[in-house]
Amino acid sequence: MDSESIEEMARRWFAKRQGSAWSEADQAAFDAWIEAAIAHRIHYVRVETAWEQLARLQALGAGVPEGVVPPRSSWGDQRFPGGESLPLKSSAVVEPRSRTQLGRYAAAAVLVVSVIATYIYSTGLLTDDRYSTPVGGLDSVALDDGSHVILNTDSRIRVALREHERRISLTQGEAFFDVAKDASRPFVVEAGDKRIVAVGTKFSVRRTDSGVQVVVTEGSVRVETGGGAVLRPKETLLKAGSIAQTAEDDDVSVRPDVSSEIDKLLSWREGYVAFETMTLAEAVAEFNRYNARKIVIASPTIGGLRISGKFRTDNTDAFLWLLQKGFPVDVERRQDEIVLNAR
C-alpha cells in the first residue's frame, strides 16, 4: 500500500475513534492495523499530532494578550512526531513561537481538520440514524425511502440514505430488509467487511461468530466478500429461496431452494423460534439470544440430543417443560441462570 493510501486509512481510523460507536472489535482491528507496519504508526501519529496542535493553538489564542507566553499547563504534553514525551524542566524558558511557525501549524491543522470533517460527514459517523433493540426486543423501522427494516433481538444498525446509495451498517445482531425499488440507488447492507447489495428485494442478514448469514425471500441480492484497496471483491449472486453463509476465508457457501428452512429461520419476526431435529446445544444457543437469564448445559452428554418444536422467544418455561417431559434432562433454576443436567 502506498503512502497516500496509508495516510487515508490513518485519517479514517482517527475519525472513527472520535465517534460514539467505537467497540472492542474496532479496537482490536485498529491495534492489528497499527502493528502491521511501522508506516501505519507513523502516519497515524502525524494525524493525531496535527489535531492536538490545533487544540493547543486554540488554547493559546483564547484570551491571551499578544506577546505573552501562556503558562506551561495550557500547552499540554509536548510530543515528538514519534509520540515520545518531551520533558520540560521547571527552570526552562519557553520562547514565544514566531508568527510564521504558528501560521504553518495552523494551516496544517486546518487542512487535517477539514479532511477529517469531510470524512466524518461522508461516512455518517456522527450524522446517520441509529436504531437498536435490547435482548429479547423486536422492532420495525420505516425508512424515508419507503423501505422497512425489522430488527431482531440485541441488534444495532446505522442508516445512511444518500443521493446515489442507500447504506445500512449492521454492527450487531440480525435484521430483515424489505427494500423499496430504486434502480438509481442500490441498497447496501454492510456487516463487518461483507457487503450485501440489492435494488428491490426482501432478505435478512445476521452476524454470527463464524461469519454472516444471508437469507433471501424475494428477488435477488449480491454478496461481496474480500477485496480492499487493490483487489476486487468476490461476488456471489443469491436468488429467492437461498441461504448463504460466509466464512473467515471469504468463501460463500450457498444452499438454494430451501424455502421450508427459511420459514423457520425467519420465524423470529413473529416472536418465535422453530427447531427441526436441532441439537440441544444449538437450540439452547438460539434461546439464549432472546433472554438475559441464560441456559447452561452442565452435562456434555445431553448437548447432542435432537429436538424439534416451535416456541415463543419469551416463553422459556415451555421449552424447559418439553425437555423435562420428553428427554432425560433435569432442570435446575438458579437466580442468574438455568442449568441443564443429565438425568
In this predicted structure, what is the pLDDT of residue 102?
56
Q: pLDDT-based confidence at 9, cuts 50/70/90?
A: confident
Task: Determine, yes or no, domain membership for 159.
Answer: yes
In this predicted structure, what is the pLDDT of residue 200?
86
Q: Mark 39-68 as b/e (b = at least 16 C-beta within 10 Å).
A: ebbbbbbbbbbbeebbebbeebeeeeeeee
Query: 92 and 147 share a domain?
Result: no
In this predicted structure, what is the pLDDT of residue 47?
77
pLDDT digits (tens, 9 = 90+) for 166-223: 999 999 999 999 999 998 999 999 998 899 999 889 999 999 888 999 999 999 999 9
Task: Determine, yes or no, domain membership for 110.
Answer: yes
Q: In terms of pLDDT, which residue wins out, 24 or 190?
A: 190
Task: Determine, yes or no, domain membership for 118.
Answer: yes
CA distances, 127 to each of 20, 117, 122, 160, 162 (Å): 11, 12, 9, 8, 12
The span from the CA of 172 to the CA of 192, in Å, is 9
Task: Determine, yes or no, domain membership for 305.
Answer: yes
The span from the CA of 284 to the CA of 163, in Å, is 44
Residue-number span of the structural domain to which 230 is assigned: 130-262
Query: 198 and 114 share a domain?
Result: no
**Does pLDDT of 34 surpass 60?**
yes
The span from the CA of 275 to the CA of 327, in Å, is 15
Residues 6 or more apart whose CB falls under 8 angstroms from that of 122 comprise none
Query: 113 and 144 share a domain?
Result: no
**Does pLDDT of 309 surpass 80?**
yes
In this predicted structure, what is the pLDDT of residue 88?
36
Q: What percentage of the chain reaches a pLDDT higher than 90?
A: 49
Query: 173 and 246 share a domain?
Result: yes
Query: 76 and 163 share a domain?
Result: no
In this predicted structure, what is the pLDDT of residue 185?
93
Query: 116 and 138 share a domain?
Result: no
CATH classification of the domain holding 338? 3.55.50.30
Beta-sheet strand order (sheet of 148-151): 139-142, 148-151, 174-178, 202-208, 211-218, 242-246, 252-255
- State the sign of the Cα–Cα–Cα–Cα dihedral 309, 313, 318, 321: positive
Q: Quote the DSSP letter at residue 181.
A: P
Q: pLDDT-based confidence at 317, cuts 50/70/90?
A: very high
- Split into its structural domains, the chain has a count of 3
37-46, 249-258, 330-339: which is most confident:
330-339
Give the end of a domain, one of 206, 236, 262.
Answer: 262
CB 214 within 8 A of CB 202: no
Mean pLDDT confidence for 102-119? 56
Decide: pTM greater than 0.75: no
- Collapsing DSSP to helix, strand or coil, 66 comes out as coil
Query: 23 and 100 share a domain?
Result: yes
Task: Determine, yes or no, domain membership for 267.
Answer: no
Residues 6 or more apart whose CB falls under 8 angstroms from that of 33 comprise 9, 13, 40
